[in-house]
Amino acid sequence: MVQLGLRGDYAPKASLGWMLANLFGILVERGGPQDLDEALIYGRQAVPYVYEAECTWITIDHFSLRMAKLGQWETAARILGWSDAYYQSSNPKRQGSETRAVERRRNFTPCGNCLEARY
């Protein structure tokens, strides 16, 4: 469906953005090195569509988790801080996958060049 949407044969732009954002989130949650590289491709493709639909926030928590999984702690923390501030000042509630991304991001702690889960 994503490929059909990218060709313009299937979905309106907002729907395509949601599909790409969901695929991005799934790959980040799965989280192997190859998954994280592939996720970035879909995340970058999703942003213009979700931006146009005024819902860029749906991708932010997954970008934070991706950065944490790559060991880029400062960037992950900044993204998570922005996201938390957005959700505290706005009406949207985090959906299931965004909530899981935040919980997983908060359970990571730096450990040299690796990730160590605190659970």
**19 and 5 in contact (C-beta within 8 Å)?**
yes
Give the structural domain span for 90.
2-117
**94 and 61 in contact (C-beta within 8 Å)?**
yes
Query: Whole-model pTM?
Result: 0.75
- Alpha carbons within 13 angstroms on the beta-carbon side of residue 3 total 0
Letter string b/e over residues 36-61, b meaning 16 or more CB atoms within 10 A of that residue's CB: bebbbebbebbbebbeebeebbbbbb
User: Domain tally for the chain?
Assistant: 1
**62 and 104 in contact (C-beta within 8 Å)?**
no
Q: Is the pLDDT of residue 4 over 90?
A: no
Tens of pLDDT, residue by residue over 76-93, are 889 888 888 888 888 777
pLDDT higher at 48 or 1: 48
Q: Residue 11 — pLDDT band, cuts 50, 70, 90? A: low
Using DSSP's 3-state secondary structure scheme, residue 114 falls into strand
